[in-house]
Amino acid sequence: MRVTERRRLTAVARGAAPADLYVRGGTLLNVYTGELYPTNVAVRGERIAYVGDRTDMVRATTTVVDASGRVLVPGYIDPHVHPAHIITPSALARHVLALGTTTLVGDTLQFWELGGVSAFTAVANALARSPVKFYWMIRPHAQSRTTDEQRRFPLRDLVRALAHPSAVAIGEVTRWPDVYAGDPHLLRRLDLALARGQRVEGHTAGASAEKIAAIAAGGLTSDHESITAREVLDRARQGIAVMLRESSLRPDLSDLLAALKDAPGLAARAMLTADGSMPAFVLEHGFVDHLIRTAMQRGVPPVDAYRMATLNPATYFGKDTDLGGIAPGRYADICILRDLEEPRPETVIARGRVAARDGRTLLPIPEPSWRRVFTTPEARLIVSWRARPEDFRLPDRPTLPVLRLVSAVITRVEDRAPQPTDLHAALVDRRGGWVAPALIAGFGERVDGLATTISTDFNILALGRRPESLALAVNRLLALRGGVVLVDDDKVTWELALPLGGIMTAAELPEAAARERELSRRLAERGYTFHEPLFTLFFLSADFLPAARLTPRGVWDVKAARILLPSRPRT
């Protein structure tokens, strides 16, 4: 904040200048003291100037918001968001602002992988003035093993990105085994953030208690992957800030909250996150409001529940002079609630303006110019190659490594002769230069051909029982410039175009949610039995989940760190 702005705030607080906005007659939840008491809030520009009983800053030019009988709580913060799942970050913000979320700390993986540091900068700059405040974590490494990772994640670009005013962390760091092992290359990258006073967002899924000390010593400052209360404590005891997660893939919050019963002091530091929840889940349940409600329903005192979604994340990121509480100097981000028990707000004030009312967002959220974010032919998927059935041919061997899905995202490797119920699968280079063929079991036996650009390595994932249907699905996908295409026999029977980088639609969240439900229904009809098909597709190429993955180098055994079935050039 500039000194001139601070001087104006002091003038309003003294009653020497008019407030722009005055919220009158509400009961404040003070997250700093845990008290609830009646008071008023005066706002100048984007910031709170005064909290108290006086009214001398209310003048003819002041907009007065009547909050009598209402409760004022700070705008909600999600500290760990993947904001480019099918919809744009702006579309997500447009939806969640009306649900009370005024700050998102977002992942940058998609932009980085499709356009490097300049794509990140374009998105971050476009959203810098958004009523929903965007802060960013910068990825130190890819999600899928390739030989050109150094080129895609150069150190100097990482340094540049971390210097962006809205960058607050490195993350998320999924290669926790490398941190545990003290890998100097990775630790050096993490130190770039730590040396600037920024955070390191960890992903320590499956790390056992005795490994946490080395992981914490290596520099990870938070973790959001606990799936039991025990894991929460294992991490919290070693000083790692825990984010309790309730996502569409892992709706675990109710169980995780048990950790607060064993260790009530945790409430002073724990945070809540929806992680990368898909649009259908957000539409049905809500966003941070849903997390706060769940916490209160599980017996967490309201003050603690709201703190975990406001002050705690603000403090964790070192942003508590800007965010997380209703107090002078902070952004005027205020949820006006009918009742403390119901976190979905009646009115939302963001950056000092009435931003949403009765579930409707009233202020425009800027949309990045996606043509400037995704500039290369590969990112836009403007390519001339086309798939052929023989691209999905498998080597002629008596046995092959078959990836069996045992949950929505976890696989097991079966080394055996192919069976008729196995699906062909392949990761295909966006440029058409290589193909990594595989066999998959347990996805859905009646899928003829499915192709998508939704994958953690941003190439094309195809699977199905008929190579001809697979080729057709891939080719339709190329014509759409990305998305999801379902083929039955030799006909395209369902498609979702995601022309923004092959990963996002320009549609709003409710429409995307409806399409997502259609896909889930169609895949269920074809034998898919898990709850989150988009994450199944997304994570099939992620090299950090057990037990094997489809990567550009081939079928990758995650634990043994070796290729089970190599990729090959497409000739």
| Minimum distance from residue 139 beta carbon to Fe ion (Å) | 11
Separation in Å, CA 229 to CA 33, 46, 270: 27, 39, 12
| Minimum distance from residue 101 beta carbon to Fe ion (Å) | 17
When the beta carbons of 46 and 532 are compared against Fe ion, the nearer one is 532
When the beta carbons of 275 and 304 are compared against Fe ion, the nearer one is 275
When the beta carbons of 9 and 173 are compared against Fe ion, the nearer one is 173
Query: Using N-to-C axis directions, what is the helix angle for 109-126 and 155-162, rounded to 10°?
Result: 40
| Burial (CB count <10 Å: 0-12, 13-18, 19+), residue 27 | middle
When the beta carbons of 231 and 275 are compared against Fe ion, the nearer one is 275
| Minimum distance from residue 542 beta carbon to Fe ion (Å) | 11
- Of the CA atoms within 13 Å of residue 321, those in its CB half-sphere come to 3
When the beta carbons of 275 and 346 are compared against Fe ion, the nearer one is 275
When the beta carbons of 113 and 275 are compared against Fe ion, the nearer one is 275
Which CB contacts under 8 angstroms, 24+ apart, belong to 463-470? 463/423, 463/424, 463/425, 463/426, 464/423, 464/424, 465/423, 465/424, 466/424, 467/389, 467/390, 467/391, 467/392, 467/393, 467/424, 468/389, 470/387, 470/389, 470/391, 470/392, 470/424, 470/426
When the beta carbons of 275 and 429 are compared against Fe ion, the nearer one is 275
Q: How far apart are CA 334 and CA 314, in angstroms?
A: 14
- The dihedrals phi and psi of 45, each to the nearest 5 degrees, come to 65, -125
Structure token pair of residue 429: 């280079």
| Minimum distance from residue 368 beta carbon to Fe ion (Å) | 21
| Minimum distance from residue 247 beta carbon to Fe ion (Å) | 8
| Minimum distance from residue 224 beta carbon to Fe ion (Å) | 6
Q: How far apart are CA 347 and CA 345, in angstroms?
A: 5
Size of the site for Fe ion (CB under 5 A): 1
When the beta carbons of 270 and 565 are compared against Fe ion, the nearer one is 270
Residues 242-281 as x/- pattern, contact with Fe ion by CB under 5 A: ---------------------------------x------
| Minimum distance from residue 171 beta carbon to Fe ion (Å) | 8
| Minimum distance from residue 273 beta carbon to Fe ion (Å) | 8
Position 23, amino acid = V
Residue appearing with tokens 């210097």: 163
Return all residues near 46 (Cβ < 8 A) that are at least 6 apart. Answer: 331, 332, 351, 352
| Minimum distance from residue 110 beta carbon to Fe ion (Å) | 13
Query: Using N-to-C axis directions, what is the helix angle for 209-217 and 229-236, rounded to 10°?
Result: 40
Separation in Å, CA 477 to CA 113, 324, 474: 19, 43, 5
Residues 311-350 as x/- pattern, contact with Fe ion by CB under 5 A: ----------------------------------------
Determine the 3-state secondary structure of 118 from DSSP. Answer: helix
When the beta carbons of 41 and 86 are compared against Fe ion, the nearer one is 86
| Minimum distance from residue 243 beta carbon to Fe ion (Å) | 9
| Minimum distance from residue 24 beta carbon to Fe ion (Å) | 40
In 3D, which of 520, 476, 527 has the Cα closest to residue 498? 476
C-beta of residue 45 within 8 angstroms of C-beta of residue 352: yes
When the beta carbons of 240 and 555 are compared against Fe ion, the nearer one is 240
When the beta carbons of 275 and 320 are compared against Fe ion, the nearer one is 275
Residue, CB closest to Fe ion:
275
Which residue ranges make up the site for Fe ion (CB under 5 A)?
Answer: 275
